[in-house]
């Protein structure tokens, strides 16, 4: 999943011209999700992620005391990453 995240960050940098701070935020959010997801499965590929996995991730973030704003950013990052993933036909 990490290679796919790097591809996404490259796309955001080149095609959308996002700032380094924005890219760093996307990277942090997506790696946080990837690490959380890897703890729950032996086959941690993005194509295997289900809605329930994202709900579990969000609930864990809430239980860790993450703010609603941070959780909203996680969701937005995952949404953008998902769109990229499906656009690329992965």
pLDDT tens-digit readout, 14-72? 999 999 999 999 999 999 999 999 988 877 788 889 999 999 999 999 999 999 999 99
- In the chain, the number of structural domains is 1
Distance in angstroms (rounded) separating the CA atoms of residues 80 and 22: 13
Q: What is the CATH number of the domain that holds 76?
A: 1.10.150.130
pLDDT tens-digit readout, 71-90? 999 999 999 999 999 998 76
**Residue indicated by tokens 């999943």:** 1
The pLDDT assigned to 32 comes to 95
Distance in angstroms (rounded) separating the CA atoms of residues 45 and 65: 27
The pLDDT assigned to 90 comes to 61
Instruction: State the DSSP code for 89.
Output: T
Instruction: State the DSSP code for 47.
Output: G
- Domain enclosing residue 49, as ranges: 2-87
Radius of gyration of the chain measured on its C-alpha atoms: 13
Predicted TM-score of the model (pTM): 0.87
């Amino acid at each position: 999943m990490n290679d796919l995240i790097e591809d996404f960050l490259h796309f955001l940098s080149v095609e959308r011209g996002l700032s380094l701070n924005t890219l760093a935020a996307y990277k942090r959010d997506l790696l946080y999700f990837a690490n959380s997801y890897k703890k729950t499965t032996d086959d941690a590929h993005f194509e295997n992620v289900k809605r329930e996995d994202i709900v579990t991730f969000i609930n864990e973030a809430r239980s860790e005391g993450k703010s609603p704003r941070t959780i909203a950013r996680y969701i937005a990052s995952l949404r953008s990453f998902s769109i990229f993933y499906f656009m690329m036909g992965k």
